[in-house]
Chains A and B, each alone.
Chain A
Amino acid sequence: MATTAPEIGIGAASQVNPAGAEQVRKERRVAAMLLLPALLFLLLMTIFPTIYSLWLSLQQYNLSRPDLASFVGFRNYGQLLQDDLFWKSVRLTLTFSFVALALQMVIGFIVASFFDRSGRAIGIWRTLFIIPVFTSPVALGLTWRYMYQPGYGLINYLLGLFGIPPVNWLASPDWAMPAVIFADVWQWTPFVALILLAGMQSISPEITEAAELDGLSRPYYLWKIVLPLLLPVITVVALIRLIDALKTFDLIYIITRGGPGTATYTLPLHAYATGFNSFLMGQSAAISWVLVIIVNILATIFLWLLARGEQ
């Protein structure tokens, strides 16, 4: 990705004659005019809420009594650090994100390698496979909730065929998180698989032919040749998925509402409930800023890995 930086314009800028300089100035004016609407809009719509949300996190601000709002410094954060539910929420967020990510990457890689191997006939299957990614998480979450129902749900029925006794998935503190992760894996594995597939298909034919001539076995070829070559792509996909998983609200909220009890109460749900059920806007902002910090730390580690891998 880093290699696609637009190198253009350097040639134009290095011209020294006055006519050239005039040309460059004019070009920059046009560029500014094209860029400014998007840039100004984004600055307005991101800088303001970011600063306001940081400011809120330093306040005691009850939505039902905004007139009583007062500055409390880092007290909201201090309270969070002493709150068991908050730490549980952090743990649940990381569990959800990393388990889902690992499953999506492994299954996605395997599926992509099968797609890659079976030639042109896969066109239609590849297209169909993308559908979960484009489907509404609310509708999908409810679909899974229907299938997880203890009495008439499809999953217990299928397990019953193998003699496995029914499980009340979403009411069980042990099973609710796996159930939610499973739904997320189902929705997002196709995304991972199709990006990895594109990566596999961009591996130069010479490499694959050489591997063929050497009589490499398929697993050996995938493990020793494909995996190292795809490492940059894998890192980027993992980064995208990890960030999105950490931010996930809709799917979890629809399937479990954070329950049973607080078994799936991840940080986005915690922040939402604190803000819109308890009206504690300052607390809620503080929780979301912890999430922002976690996302940024993990993203930085990933980008650092990516940069190191490229060297």
Chain B
Amino acid sequence: MSDRARPGSGRVRGGVLGALVGGFVLLWLFPIYWIVLTSFKTPLLINEKTPVFVFSPTMENYTHLFTEFNFARPLWNSLVVTTVSTVVVIILALLAAYALARMDVPGGRNIALWMLSLRFMPPIAIVIPFFIAWQRLGIIDTHLGLILVYVAFNLPFAVWMLRGFLVDVPRDLDEAAMLDGLGHVAILRRIIFPVIAPGVAVTAIFTFVFAFNEYLMALVLTSRNASTAPVTVAKFIQPYSILWGDVGAAATIQLVPILIVVFLLQRHIMRGISLGAVK
């Protein structure tokens, strides 16, 4: 579909353009390549005036990261908070989106728009109330405290996105199932879910990535026990120096799950990205 004729594009020029686009993308990604490379450099090489591209790699930054900063712990905190909040978001959002997209809900459209409008709220405006409330409730610096906030932040977006996917599923499918005597929950589970599984996966990825990368909330709502990977990495900025090697190692480690997910689900991600704006 995407290789159909475009004005002004010949086949030969298409090939040249493809190469140009490829070169452009690789150039654009250079900073990521650079930080990954840095993670395998000794401090001497990192502070080298002339950039070094070929060298014998060292793992010392990674060992330093896990021994000195005990990075396994924030990484674990990040994974727990992110995974749990993503699962909760998807379950709640799937139910709500199904009702909004396929059932007769009075004011349904207003509810959907209200959820979307929550995006206008700057996190900084509501992080203080959470900080004070979580202190009083004794859930500051806990997984639970951060999970609750991340669910609230991702839920509106997830409902909106899943609703978009659900609207696309033909109605005949559930009408036929309803004639067979299936209830709504059974229809959602056995008929709809398999069809929109890629949409659910994409929504889950966006939710996961947002929570995994989030900084401000985690900075305010965690300190010693539940601090996440981004909060810990930001601490590598020290008064007189920045631990570039540790930064590189931590950045590389955080990049791995993202890269895997992007490649496994590339087609669906494009669809998810375009869903919100193009439809």
* Given A8-B171, A115-B21, A119-B14: A135 in contact with B244 (beta carbons within 8 A): no
Contacts of B255 in A (CB 8 A): 135, 139
Question: Is B17 in the interface zone, CB < 8 Å from A?
Answer: yes
Q: Give min CB distance, A233 to chain B, whole Å.
A: 5
- Taken together as a complex, chains A and B put the C-alpha atoms of A115 and B50 apart, in Å, by 34
Q: Give min CB distance, A134 to chain B, whole Å.
A: 5
Smallest CB gap from B6: residue in A: A117
Count A interface residues, CB 8 Å.
111
* Given A209-B5, A246-B122: A236 in contact with B276 (beta carbons within 8 A): yes
Q: Are A240 and B215 in contact (CB under 8 A)?
A: no
Contacts of A56 in B (CB 8 A): 128-129
Question: Is B75 in the interface zone, CB < 8 Å from A?
Answer: no
Contacts of B261 in A (CB 8 A): 134
Question: Is B189 in the interface zone, CB < 8 Å from A?
Answer: no
Choose from A27, A131, A136 the contact partner of B262 (Cβ within 8 Å): A131
Question: Is A181 in the interface zone, CB < 8 Å from B?
Answer: no
Q: Are A9 and B118 in contact (CB under 8 A)?
A: no
Contacts of A52 in B (CB 8 A): 129, 132-133
**How would residues 122 to 133 of chain B score, 1 for a CB under 8 Å from any chain A CB and 0 otherwise?**
111110111011
Q: Give min CB distance, A21 to chain B, whole Å.
A: 12
Contacts of B171 in A (CB 8 A): 8
Question: Is B279 in the interface zone, CB < 8 Å from A?
Answer: yes
Question: Is A111 in the interface zone, CB < 8 Å from B?
Answer: yes
- Taken together as a complex, chains A and B put the C-alpha atoms of A267 and B118 apart, in Å, by 19
Q: Are B148 and A117 in contact (CB under 8 A)?
A: no
Q: Give min CB distance, B154 to chain A, whole Å.
A: 11
Contacts of B258 in A (CB 8 A): 131, 134-135
Choose from B184, B277, B279 the contact partner of A34 (Cβ within 8 Å): B184
> What secondary structure prevails in chain B residues at the interface with A?
helix
Q: Which positions in A face B, CB cutoff 8 Å? A: 1, 4-6, 8-10, 12-13, 24, 27-28, 30-32, 34-35, 37-39, 41-42, 45-46, 48-50, 52-53, 56, 111, 114-123, 125-132, 134-140, 142-147, 151-152, 154, 157, 186, 190-191, 194-195, 198-199, 201-202, 205, 208-209, 211-212, 216-218, 221, 233, 236-237, 240, 243, 246-247, 249-250, 253-254, 267-268, 271-272, 275-276, 281, 284-285, 288-289, 291-292, 295-296, 299
30 A-B residue contacts at CB 8 Å?
Answer: A6-B100, A6-B108, A30-B99, A34-B98, A35-B100, A35-B111, A38-B155, A39-B111, A41-B92, A42-B115, A46-B118, A49-B129, A114-B21, A119-B9, A122-B2, A122-B21, A126-B270, A127-B266, A131-B32, A132-B32, A137-B230, A146-B247, A152-B46, A194-B273, A195-B277, A208-B4, A217-B7, A288-B122, A288-B124, A295-B120
Q: Which positions in B face A, CB cutoff 8 Å? A: 1-9, 14-15, 17-18, 20-22, 24-26, 28-29, 31-32, 34-35, 38, 46-51, 92-93, 95-96, 98-106, 108-109, 111, 115, 118-126, 128-130, 132-133, 148-149, 151-152, 155-156, 159, 163-164, 167, 171, 183-184, 209, 212-213, 215-216, 220, 229-230, 233-234, 236-237, 242, 244, 247, 250-251, 254-255, 258-259, 261-263, 266, 269-270, 273-274, 276-279
